[in-house]
């Protein structure tokens, strides 16, 4: 799978307060702080736990846990070659989220 973002892209980050964490869905792109080196990271959210969130790059099978307190926000748009594109959750992730919601009702 190719990465969603490429060098030269500009992203719009919507900050998330801790009370807004219920807005998180697997499949969305998130922006977080890497506390080890104070850099920031953009990856796809692949899991949601009580204390930790789980992310992975689109071109990687490795899943990284990180603390909710390091979440800065979610990516809503990307500007590439002067064109602004909304960042939607990919179809396969939407289907997965729907199936998880159905399982929780059974």
Q: Categorize the per-residue pLDDT at 33 as very low, low, confident or very high, splitting at 50, 70 and 90.
A: very high
Residue 97, pLDDT score: 86
| Residue 82 in this model has a pLDDT that exceeds 70 | yes
Query: What share of the chain has pLDDT > 70, as a percent?
Result: 96
Mean pLDDT computed over 18-32: 84
Task: Give the C-alpha separation, 70 to 82, whole Å.
Answer: 30
Which fold, 10-105? Umud Fragment, subunit A (2.10.109)
Backbone angles phi, psi at 76, to 5 degrees: -105, -25
> What letter does residue 81 receive in the DSSP assignment?
T
B/e letters for 9-32, b = 16+ CB within 10 Å, e = fewer, are: eebebeebeeeeeeebebbbbbbb
Give per-residue pLDDT as tens, 4-16: 888 899 999 999 8
Mapped onto helix, strand or coil, the DSSP state of residue 33 is strand
Residue 1, pLDDT score: 54
Task: Give the C-alpha separation, 3 to 5, whole Å.
Answer: 5
């Amino acid at each position: 799978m190719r990465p969603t973002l490429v060098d030269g892209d500009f992203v719009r980050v919507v900050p998330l307060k801790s009370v807004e964490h219920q807005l998180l869905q697997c499949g969305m792109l998130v922006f977080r702080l890497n506390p080890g080196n104070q850099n920031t990271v953009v990856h796809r959210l692949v899991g949601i736990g009580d204390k930790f969130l789980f992310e992975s790059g689109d071109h990687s099978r490795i899943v990284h846990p990180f603390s909710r307190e390091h979440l800065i926000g979610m990516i809503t748009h990307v500007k590439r070659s002067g064109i602004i594109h909304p960042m939607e959750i990919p179809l396969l992730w939407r289907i997965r989220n729907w199936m998880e919601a159905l399982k929780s009702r059974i």
